[in-house]
Amino acid sequence: MRIIQSGISEGCLESGSALLGGETAEMPGMYESGEYDLAGFAVGAVERDKLIDGKQIEIGDLLLGLPSSGVHSNGFSLVRKILKDHKLNLKDILPGTTKTLGEALLTPTIIYVKPILKLLAELEILGMSHITGGGLPGNVPRMLPKKTLKGFVPVAEIEKSKHLNSWPELPIFSMLQQVSGLPDEELFPVFNMGIGFVICVAETNEGIAREILTKEGQPVFRIGQIVSGNKRQVCWK
Average pLDDT of span 90-99: 96
SS3 137: helix
For the beta carbon of residue 194, count every other beta carbon within 10 angstroms.
23
Which residue, 155, 143, 174, 157, is CA-closest to 222?
Answer: 157
Name the average pLDDT for the chain.
92
Which residue, 53, 79, 221, is CA-closest to 136?
Answer: 221
Q: Mind listing the pLDDT tens digit for each residue in 118-168? A: 999 999 999 999 999 999 999 999 999 888 877 889 999 999 865 557 899
Domains identified in the chain and CATH numbers: 48-236 (3.90.650.10)
Q: Mind listing the pLDDT tens digit for each residue in 206-233? A: 999 999 999 999 999 999 999 999 899 9
Average pLDDT of span 180-202: 96
Q: Are the C-beta atoms of 196 and 67 separated by less than 8 Å?
A: yes
